[in-house]
Amino acid sequence: MAHNTNTSNQESERPIPRDVYFFGTCLIDIFVPNAGMDAITLLEKLGINVHFPMAQSCCGQPAYTSGHPAEAREVARAQLSLFPEDWPVVVPSGSCGGMMKHHWPTLFAGDKDEAIANEIAGRIVEFSDFLLNVLDWQPKDLGEPTKIAVHTSCSARREMDVHINSWALVDRLANVERLVHDHESECCGFGGTFSVKHPDISGAMVTDKARSLKTTGADEFITADCGCLMNINGKLAKDGDATFNGRHLASFLLERTGGKA
């Protein structure tokens, strides 16, 4: 059975914008571009004008979490001129969203670009949060009955506090049963550069996570963070499992509501 979802910790009322910026993230751009296209398509189907600044690159998180703030600042600085209009910046990742919303103000404290970094940080909205708490999306499920499990990233859960949003969106789909797994709150082991620096620990963590997701009996799993998606799907592929894998929340929601990228 699904958990009861409660979004009372989110802002109850936000104006519905006509235009948004979309920050695609490095992982989506390089490894899972269909997830970004599906997210944009879904937003456009809901009447939102989506603006994708072509010069965007990285939020600076890999360098920042590796202990290189100066390098992270210069990477992040290259993004600051890309969002000049007072529109929300929708980010399809709790990880990158957390970096931009919560760590840019620290990263640019005392810097000449402190003001603009803080201003943009205040406009960052994670994708599922935007659908649920800004648009109050009420989807019409056009798909066949299915059972799915949801993995929420550490950043989505502990930094952005948006983990219940994916649950709530899935629970609004009439033909989808959300199955709860016994490692729901645990990390998949990716952690950006953590998985590179500590491969044995990371490998043990993703083994537990993949096993937990599969044990639910779900047809597939979904997540709103592509780093986790790559890590878990990579583990499943390494184990030769061709019957169970995952995809980004945006791709799942678009398909269920009859859209195509």
36-77 pLDDT, tens digit per residue, is 999 999 999 999 999 999 999 999 999 999 999 999 999 999
| R_g of the chain, CA atoms, integer Å | 18
pLDDT at 10 over 50: no
Answer whether residue 3 is part of any domain.
no
Write down which residue in 133, 160, 192 finishes a domain. Answer: 133
Is residue 65 domain-shared with residue 93, that is, in the same domain?
A: yes
What was the pLDDT predicted at 241? 86
Which pTM was predicted? 0.91
| C-alpha–C-alpha distance, residues 261 and 256, integer Å | 13
243: its two tokens: 């019957």
Block residue for tokens 């202990």: 67
**Chain-centroid distance, C-alpha 42:** 15
237: its two tokens: 């592929």
CATH number of the domain encompassing residue 151: 3.40.50.11810
Is residue 182 domain-shared with residue 120, that is, in the same domain?
A: no
CB 76 within 8 A of CB 62: no
Strand partners, 220: 148
Task: Give, in degrees to the nearest 5, the angle at Cα 209 between 208 and 210.
Answer: 95
CB 232 within 8 A of CB 151: yes
85 pLDDT tier (thresholds 50, 70, 90): very high
pLDDT digits (tens, 9 = 90+) for 102-118: 999 999 999 999 999 99
pLDDT at 8 over 60: no
Q: What is the domain extent for residue 66?
A: 19-133
User: For the chain, how many structural domains are there in total?
Assistant: 2
Task: Supply the mean pLDDT for the chain.
Answer: 92
